[in-house]
């Protein structure tokens, strides 16, 4: 039976819905609903009635004395002295965790000591993603033990055993070798009172391929469950496994969905631990690392990336992450700056000290919208997780290509929405700055680390590596010690959302530098008020493709004699003056002139005057720009 409060809430909702439908003039409230990429229906209003049927009305994060997060900025250096200097300067500026991915030139004991000279092992934290440089782990741990710093070690030094398979389609080391190595690492850490984590579960691999929030959660936890089961088969105690795990998620641009994603992740983790039989799930809290996405970043109007990373960071913190890496706004271009690094680090302090997010426990708690979104996301993910397990588990789904197919479907939808301008990306497919100059060489290339060969020695296990380190004081390289066939699957397609648009614009800029005139003429009809909105629309589209615009009224078209493409622009009434005489006049000196007209429902004019086409509000803008570039003679890949 409903209480008085519930009845009052439903009455208030009915009154609000009645007023809205009056304002909509007979249309139903449902027209205000919209669907997310997850397939979740977003309503215009949420209240307590949206939580009445959920198992968990609120998903409040566990209260803790300090709501601050670890400031884990990337240390993008290769050599020991550079790393030492970067860590020293970063610490002076407030950084307390160090995210490092390049270890190729940290092979000798002296190099490791030099690189991390300024780390305070009692107060600072690390996030070392060693990837395929597995030999770094026993070397680093041995050195910390030798210096009596092992018990103080905080953070993560580890790898994701499935990362290579997901990103490259095959493994450079066999899975069994990696899993054996992880099992031995966990046992050694537990036997030596080391509290660091060594299993990295990279959920951001999925988000960088275009996955939605639900897919990222499903595949990340399914991926984690597969690793847990494999390690249990290696006789590693369950409690030790879960205590050694770090989950690293990407942060997307859907602000409220991302908050719900991180909050749902903690609920799903608790449910998973209960299902596995963990006696005290409370002491095995999910450790969440988040990194701002590169998927939605742009190389044009690059400073807009500052806004994107700031809102992404805000949502991750509101969702309860423990550690945050904010990539610099210019991380997607080849020439990265100290300014980008400084601002990305300072975003942490703005959110801590000015937004006061470090002072509030679970700032999103109590929001009906976020609570409802969290609940629905949690339930959807849990059901899909069970379905994957029933079908043979994560690896089986990966081999069959179902993971890749499902992510590609969403990624393709994102690209399609971008092409049709259903999704607007500032500086790329809308509000493009024609003065913005980017060259082919500015786009980010994969980082190649040059390292010196210190006569590499190959080992096949953690303990063999540890013995070698003790004797030789240098890092060995792992090799597979089995004859098992390397697992091969279709890799995930990791690319930025806007890259195909950027390539179009770079092609146009390159052609201009070669002396080509990349320009389209626009003939306006009527007064300014008649054509202004359509002129702004078509100019914005053309600027997105790096194409300049020259504007002339109906009586000034002689300046277009050398143009390859001309667009007619006005309102529907002003088009009444367009006739075959006018069109023939335009084509008199240029038989190859291509003519387009702006506006929907202009088929009659197009057919009668044999124009090349219409520029409409629902067209594929990307394909249109490609065709215009081809008309203008712009070549390139």
- Each residue's pLDDT tens digit, 510-531: 999 999 999 999 999 999 999 9
- Each residue's pLDDT tens digit, 316-328: 999 999 999 999 9
Q: What is the mean pLDDT of residues 54-66?
A: 56
Query: In the predicted model, is pLDDT for residue 187 greater than 70?
Result: yes
pLDDT, position 2: 47
Q: What stretches of 217-303 adopt beta strand conformation (E)?
A: 245-251, 288-292
Q: What percent of the chain has pLDDT over 70?
A: 92
Q: What is the mean pLDDT of residues 572-581?
A: 93
- The residue among 53 and 421 whose pLDDT is bigger is 421
Instruction: Decide: 312 and 259 in contact? Cβ < 8 Å.
Output: no
CATH architecture, domain 505-631 = 3-Layer(aba) Sandwich (3.40)
- The residue among 12 and 192 whose pLDDT is bigger is 192
pLDDT, position 340: 94
pLDDT, position 4: 56
User: Phi and psi (nearest 5°) for 42?
Assistant: -100, 125
Comparing CA positions, the residue from 193, 128, 192, 188 lying closest to residue 157 is 128
What does the block give as tokens for 12?
Answer: 């208030």
Question: Per-residue DSSP letters for 510-533?
Answer: HHHHTT---EEEEEE-S-HHHHHH
Query: In the predicted model, is pLDDT for residue 279 greater than 80?
Result: no
Instruction: Decide: 103 and 133 in contact? Cβ < 8 Å.
Output: yes
Domain boundaries defined on the chain: 1-33, 70-400, 505-631
Longest dimension (CA), the chain: 91
pLDDT, position 482: 61
pLDDT category at 637 given cuts 50, 70, 90 is low
Tracing tokens 């202009």 back to the chain, one arrives at: 602
What does the block give as tokens for 580?
Answer: 């075959």
Run of H or E residues at 388 = helix 368-390
Query: In the predicted model, is pLDDT for residue 51 greater than 60?
Result: yes
pLDDT, position 361: 84
pLDDT, position 481: 66
d(CA 280, CA 273): 9
Residue 27 makes CB contacts below 8 A (sequence gap 6+) with: 21
For the domain covering 70-400, report its CATH number: 3.20.20.240
pLDDT, position 8: 61
Q: Give SS3 for 262.
A: helix
Bridge-based pairing state of the strands 41-42 and 34-35: antiparallel
When the pLDDT of each residue in the chain is averaged and rounded to a whole number, the result is 91
Q: At what angle are helices 255-276 and 213-233 packed, to 10 degrees?
A: 20
Instruction: Decide: 299 and 265 in contact? Cβ < 8 Å.
Output: no
What does the block give as tokens for 431?
Answer: 């509000």
pLDDT, position 47: 87
Tracing tokens 């590499």 back to the chain, one arrives at: 456
Q: What is the mean pLDDT of residues 44-68?
A: 69
**Out of 55-64, 420-429, 456-465, which region has the weakest mean confidence (pLDDT)?**
55-64
pLDDT category at 619 given cuts 50, 70, 90 is very high
Question: Per-residue DSSP letters for 103-119?
Answer: -TT--BHHHHHHHTTT-
pLDDT, position 562: 84
d(CA 270, CA 242): 11
**Out of 5-9, 41-45, 333-337, 570-574, which region has the weakest mean confidence (pLDDT)?**
5-9
Q: What percent of the chain has pLDDT over 90?
A: 77
d(CA 632, CA 620): 19
Query: In the predicted model, is pLDDT for residue 447 greater than 90?
Result: no
- Each residue's pLDDT tens digit, 138-152: 999 999 999 999 999
- Each residue's pLDDT tens digit, 455-496: 578 999 999 999 999 999 999 999 886 656 678 899 999 999
Run of H or E residues at 74 = strand 70-74
pLDDT, position 609: 93
Query: In the predicted model, is pLDDT for residue 542 greater than 80?
Result: yes
pLDDT category at 632 given cuts 50, 70, 90 is very high
Query: In the predicted model, is pLDDT for residue 416 greater than 90?
Result: yes
pLDDT, position 483: 52
Query: In the predicted model, is pLDDT for residue 57 greater than 70?
Result: no
Comparing CA positions, the residue from 225, 166, 156, 223 lying closest to residue 186 is 156
d(CA 608, CA 595): 13
- The residue among 53 and 359 whose pLDDT is bigger is 359
Tracing tokens 């847990």 back to the chain, one arrives at: 228
Instruction: Decide: 295 and 496 in contact? Cβ < 8 Å.
Output: yes
**Out of 64-73, 225-234, 626-635, which region has the weakest mean confidence (pLDDT)?**
64-73
pLDDT, position 167: 95
User: For residue 523, what are the CA distances in angstroms to 501, 531, 548, 563, 598?
Assistant: 26, 10, 14, 12, 10
- Each residue's pLDDT tens digit, 4-49: 555 565 677 888 888 888 888 878 888 899 999 999 999 998 988 8
pLDDT category at 59 given cuts 50, 70, 90 is low
pLDDT category at 1 given cuts 50, 70, 90 is very low
pLDDT, position 366: 87
**What pTM value is reported for the model?**
0.93
Residue 232 makes CB contacts below 8 A (sequence gap 6+) with: 238, 241
d(CA 577, CA 580): 10
d(CA 397, CA 384): 12
């Amino acid at each position: 039976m409903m209480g008085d409060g519930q009845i009052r809430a439903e009455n208030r909702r009915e009154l609000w819905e009645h007023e809205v439908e009056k304002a909509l003039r007979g249309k139903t409230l449902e027209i205000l609903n919209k669907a997310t990429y997850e397939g979740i229906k977003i309503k215009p209003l949420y209240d307590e009635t949206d939580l009445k049927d959920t198992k968990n009305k609120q998903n409040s994060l566990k209260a803790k004395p300090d709501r601050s997060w670890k400031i884990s900025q990337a240390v993008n250096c290769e050599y020991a002295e550079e790393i030492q200097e970067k860590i020293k300067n970063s610490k002076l500026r407030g950084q307390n965790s160090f995210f490092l991915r390049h270890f190729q030139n940290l092979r000798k004991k002296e190099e490791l000591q030099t690189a991390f000279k300024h780390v305070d092992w009692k107060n600072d934290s690390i996030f070392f993603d060693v990837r395929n440089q597995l030999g770094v782990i026993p070397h680093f741990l041995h050195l910390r033990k030798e210096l009596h710093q092992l018990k103080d070690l905080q953070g993560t030094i580890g790898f994701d055993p499935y990362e290579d398979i997901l990103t490259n389609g095959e493994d450079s080391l066999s899975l069994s070798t990696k899993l054996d190595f992880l099992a031995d690492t966990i046992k050694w850490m537990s036997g030596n009172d080391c509290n660091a984590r060594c299993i990295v579960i990279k959920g951001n691999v999925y988000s960088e391929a275009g996955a939605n929030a639900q897919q990222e959660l499903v595949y990340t936890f399914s991926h984690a469950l597969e690793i847990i089961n494999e390690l249990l088969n290696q006789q590693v105690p369950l409690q030790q496994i879960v205590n050694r795990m770090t989950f690293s998620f990407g942060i997307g641009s859907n602000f409220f969905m991302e908050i719900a994603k991180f909050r749902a992740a903690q609920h799903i983790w608790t449910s998973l631990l209960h299902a596995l039989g963990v006696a005290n799930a409370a002491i095995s809290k999910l450790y969440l690392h988040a990194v701002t996405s590169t998927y939605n970043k742009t190389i044009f109007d690059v400073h807009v990336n500052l806004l994107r990373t700031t809102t992404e960071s805000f949502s991750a913190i509101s969702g309860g992450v423990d550690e945050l890496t904010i990539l610099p706004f210019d991380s997607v271009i080849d020439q990265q700056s100290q300014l980008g690094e400084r601002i990305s680090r300072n975003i942490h302090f703005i959110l801590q000290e000015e937004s006061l997010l470090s002072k509030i426990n679970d700032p999103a708690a109590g929001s009906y919208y976020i609570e409802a979104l969290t609940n629905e996301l949690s339930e959807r993910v849990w059901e899909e997780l069970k379905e994957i397990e029933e079908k043979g588990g994560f690896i089986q789904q990966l081999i069959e290509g179902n993971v890749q197919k499902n992510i590609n479907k969403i990624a393709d939808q994102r690209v399609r929405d971008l092409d049709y301008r259903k999704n607007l990306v500032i500086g790329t497919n809308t509000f493009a700055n024609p003065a913005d100059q980017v060259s082919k060489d500015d786009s980010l290339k994969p980082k190649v680390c040059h390292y010196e060969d210190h006569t590499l020695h190959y080992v096949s296990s953690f303990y063999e590596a540890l013995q070698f380190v003790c004797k030789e004081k240098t890092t060995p390289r792992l090799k597979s010690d089995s004859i098992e066939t390397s697992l091969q699957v279709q890799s995930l397609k990791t690319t930025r959302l806007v890259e195909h648009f950027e390539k179009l614009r770079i092609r146009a800029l390159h052609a201009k530098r070669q002396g080509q005139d990349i320009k389209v003429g626009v003939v306006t009809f009527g007064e300014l008020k008649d054509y202004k909105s359509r002129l702004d629309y078509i100019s914005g589209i053309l600027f997105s493709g790096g194409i300049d615009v020259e504007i002339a009224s109906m009586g000034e078209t002689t300046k277009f004699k050398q143009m390859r493409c001309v667009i007619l622009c006005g309102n529907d009434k002003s088009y009444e003056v367009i006739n075959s005489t006018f069109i023939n006049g335009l084509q008199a000196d240029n038989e190859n002139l291509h003519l387009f007209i702006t506006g929907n429902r202009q088929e009659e004019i197009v057919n009668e005057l044999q124009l090349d086409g219409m520029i409409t509000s629902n067209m594929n803008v990307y394909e249109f720009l490609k065709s215009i570039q081809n008309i203008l003679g712009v070549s390139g890949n």
